[in-house]
Amino acid sequence: MLKRVGHPVDEKGAAVAIKDAAFPVPFAPGLEFNSPVHGNWNIVHTGMLMPEARQIYVCADNCMRGVVLTAAEMNAADRFSFVIVKEENLLNGNLEDITIEGVTDVLNKLEEKPKAVLLFTVCLHHFLGCDLERVFQELEERFPEITFIRCYMDPIMQKHGPTPDQKLRKAIYEPLPKRKADEKAVSFLGSDFELGKNADLKRIVRAHQGSFRELPGCKNWEDYLALSEGKLFVSSYPPSKYGAEVLSKRLKRPYLYLPGSFDYEEITAQLENFCQAMGYGKLEETISVEEEIAACERALEKAHEVIGDTAVAIDYLYHPRPLGLAKLLLTHGFRVTRIYLDSISPEEKEEFGWLKEHAPEIQLIATIQVKMRVLPRKSDEKILAIGQKAAWFTGSPYFVNMVQGGGLYGFDGIRRTAELMVEAFTEEKDTEDLVVRKGWGCESCI
């Protein structure tokens, strides 16, 4: 039985026309709602990318339940263990001991030791001033054959510093050793997904007989260690930037941040930088920008022929640049009516200004604001949703099912988006079955 609760509410405070929106936070902070859309990756999913490693968490029951069942749902419970923190551990001040002895106990019970342990400590360790140096030193002495990686599940810190997600994307590269650079290799860091085989960067590297290395493609520990051999480090997913910069400094290797973009000029500039850094010469010697753009235009035109004047809703989970995508679609005749987001990336300040001027009535709609629990989630007209959150909030079965930019990049990413839009428009999906699954792209046993 479906029920609506509470008093009738209006959208005020949860939705705003972009012409009236503040940058970078259009909505007042307050209590937070969490929608039933779970395709985004969390620290468990990302940690599982590390081959031959085991994750061990040390925290209280409630925090633990979310991560242990994440592992179970992705059929990876056999790579996950934990130590429960009890009230007496807080009162007795023996968090160091319980962490050391608990992790030791888990590792002693394993028939085969992992190459690495991602050891996650939590807010409680931080607040109690737990001596993590002592914890790790002791564990490293007890298990010298295992690499212990310092990971954090401390969301209480995330509004004033790096998020646990950002810190993890730094930590998982900390074991990489200093190795001689392979002049043919590029190491692509910090993404949860392998780039599509036709992604611009991969095509360019392939054209120069180079190798493209990325964590999601690593099958074993040696593959992982070889990530340190890239002549150039590259990342494109915004939360990866912090960790990739740190790694670049530590291994003294050049690094380029080439964020996924929907702007032809920005993509071109990124690819030129990349070619220069790799010593490939001018970009035009490898691919024709003119032809790339023409192919994008054809893909967008074809999509528009199919989708026409149908309302389009975009969410921030589909891609870190939702405003850039909106601008691209609007300039190609699509009717973008709403964008679901809670804040605007500093990387999109220019697009925000452009949309204010050229599409002032576009609605920015929050996803965590309290009213979003009870506002209507259906529409009388057909809506093409780009992203899982847009699908749930609009109640649309016509949606592009992808998160965090998937493996899209560059001109190819634009073309793939256009193709996915056509597919989504023509093929109805089971929204409830798809969006509630954790970690899009991971195995899901629910």
The strands making up 255-257's β-sheet, listed across from edge to edge, are: 211-214, 182-189, 230-235, 255-257
The CB-of-78 to another protein minimum distance in angstroms stands at 7
Is residue 129 within the footprint of another protein (CB under 8 A)?
A: no
| Neighbour tally for 76: CB within 10 Å | 18
The CB-of-113 to another protein minimum distance in angstroms stands at 13
The alpha carbon dihedral of 195, 262, 20, 159 has a sign of positive
Is residue 378 within the footprint of another protein (CB under 8 A)?
A: no
Tokens read off for 127: 């607040």
Q: Which is nearer to another protein, 101 or 133 (CB)?
A: 101
The strands making up 399-400's β-sheet, listed across from edge to edge, are: 15-17, 363-365, 335-340, 311-315, 383-386, 399-400
Please say whether the beta carbons of 382 and 309 come within 8 A.
no
The CB-of-437 to another protein minimum distance in angstroms stands at 10
Of residues 312 through 341, those in contact with another protein by CB under 8 A are none
Within 217-294, strands assigned E span 230-235, 255-257
Strands 182-189 vs 363-365: parallel, antiparallel or unpaired: unpaired
User: Residue-wise over 103-137: b if at least 16 C-beta within 10 A, else e?
Assistant: beeebeeeeeebbbbbbbbbbbbeeeebebeebbe
Please choose, out of 1-9, 243-251, 335-343, 356-364, the segment that lies near another protein by the rule CB under 8 A.
1-9
Compose the 130-159 pattern: x for residues touching another protein by CB under 8 A, - for all others: -----------------------x-xxxxx
Is residue 397 within the footprint of another protein (CB under 8 A)?
A: no
Compose the 35-64 pattern: x for residues touching another protein by CB under 8 A, - for all others: -x-x--------------------xxxxxx
Is residue 66 within the footprint of another protein (CB under 8 A)?
A: yes
Half-sphere exposure of 163 (CA within 13 A, CB side): 10
- From candidates 370, 379, 397, 423, binder to another protein by CB under 8 A: 370
Of residues 78 through 107, those in contact with another protein by CB under 8 A are 78, 81-87, 90, 98, 101-103, 105-106
- From candidates 373, 397, 419, 423, binder to another protein by CB under 8 A: 373
- From candidates 32, 140, 291, 301, binder to another protein by CB under 8 A: 32
Please say whether the beta carbons of 389 and 50 come within 8 A.
no
Within its chain, how far is the Cα of 396 from the centroid? 23
What residues make contact with another protein under the rule CB under 8 A? 1-7, 9, 13, 29-34, 36, 38, 59-66, 68-69, 72-73, 77-78, 81-87, 90, 98, 101-103, 105-106, 109-110, 123-124, 127-128, 153, 155-160, 370-371, 373-374, 432, 436, 438, 445-446
